[in-house]
Amino acid sequence: MIKEPIGASSDSTYWTFRTLQTLVMQDYNAFAPDVQHAWKTFEQQTAKQQHTMEQTYLRLYASHPKEAQHLLQNFEDKTMQNAQTLAHRLTNNIITKMTYNTDMKYHFSGTQP
């Protein structure tokens, strides 16, 4: 039995990523390449930053373990925030494209700002 879904929420990390996924699936061939490229770039940048952070963490941990833990937590928090920001930006880009496409398909004068 399929459960009824819990309502979408703008402050939910799950729904941030699920919304992006759902929008991409509306026209996968049109939207997926930009999203895949953006995530690949994000992952590559994050991997470089992680490597730098890990080296600092290892040096710091021997003498200041609490500071090292703080460094690690800050990195994780920043990475998650950056991922959410990217997901929001990509979602807005897709909504903009979908809105334009809808306006072109069902053109009427009320769609112009």
Domain boundaries defined on the chain:
13-106
d(CA 71, CA 12): 25
Position 14 scores a pLDDT of 93
Number of residues in the chain: 113
d(CA 28, CA 99): 16
The residue with tokens 């950056």 is 82
Amino acid identity for residue 62 in this structure? A
Taking only the tens place, the pLDDT of each residue in 64-91 is: 999 999 999 999 999 999 999 999 999 9
pTM of the model: 0.86
Other Cβ atoms closer than 10 A to 98: 15
The residue with tokens 């703008």 is 10
Position 10 scores a pLDDT of 86
d(CA 60, CA 79): 20
Residues of the chain with pLDDT under 70: 1-2, 5, 108-113
What is the percent of the chain with per-residue pLDDT over 70, rounded to a whole number?
91
CB 90 within 8 A of CB 32: no
